[in-house]
Amino acid sequence: MQDRASNLEEEAILAGDLPRHIAIIMDGNGRWAQQRGLDRTLGHRQGVKALKPIVKEAARIGIEVLTVYAFSTENWRRPSHEVEVLMGLLVEFLASETAELKDEGVRIRTIGDIARLPLPAQQSLLWAQTETAAQTRMILNLALNYGARDEILRAVNRWRTENQDEALSEEQLSSYLDTAGLPDPDLLIRSSGEFRISNFLLWQLAYAEIYISNILWPDFDAVELRRAIRAYQARHRRFGGLG
């Protein structure tokens, strides 16, 4: 009965209007660890493990772009040991998963000011992006040292350098953002029950549907991803118009 229900759910999802681009704020790793009396870093390690099945499921369903908030510009304020662990987990994830992601047709990209990351992390990212550059099934967009306000400021400053006297349009600003060339997110998912955007894709999320999950990120799975997509498909998107 469970398999039949799962198959029916998948048929319904695939028959509906799929979001082209899903953005996820992966929240709750620290609380997950604290609830179990564990060090926060173990929550981050479990959170990295939770990402892999979500990427595979999104690619399998047919999502074009999956952007995950992995490390924000504000996360540098955390204890140095925790930051070091997070950077190490990034390197481990890329080393262990890039080959399989490549086989799954996933292309790895980044948004954010990557130049501030430790050199091993930068080198791993460059290698992973080069390895998967030709893949076309889905883009996995890792937001690293990313903050939306920082992104917008960097975009405007680049524009001013190249076009000093010309007025700036929405389309032109979009072309200078880190997400240039990608569709704006249709669906934003935030785990752990928090109702905040947290300086994530402020420009791009202007008309995204928002799904708040009470599940902490390490426990977020393909079932909850499908639930979010079904909720998205049940909504009527008006983009500021009547309806």
Annotated binding site for Mg(2+): 27, 209
CB atoms within 10 A of CB 121: 21
Give yes or no: 165 in active site.
Answer: no
CA 75 and chain centroid, separation? 16
Tokens found for residue 226: 């499908």
Per DSSP, 165 falls in state S
Cβ neighbours of 240 (radius 10 Å)? 7
3-state class (DSSP) for residue 111? strand
**Annotated catalytic residue within 27, 141, 145, 178:** 27
Annotated binding site: 27-32, 40, 44, 72-74, 76, 78, 190, 196-198, 209
Token pair, residue 97, equals 């998963």
Catalytic residue among 3, 7, 75, 103: 75
User: Catalytic: 75?
Assistant: yes
Question: What CA–CA distance (Å, rounded) separates 210 from 216?
Answer: 16
Which residues are catalytic, by number? 27, 75
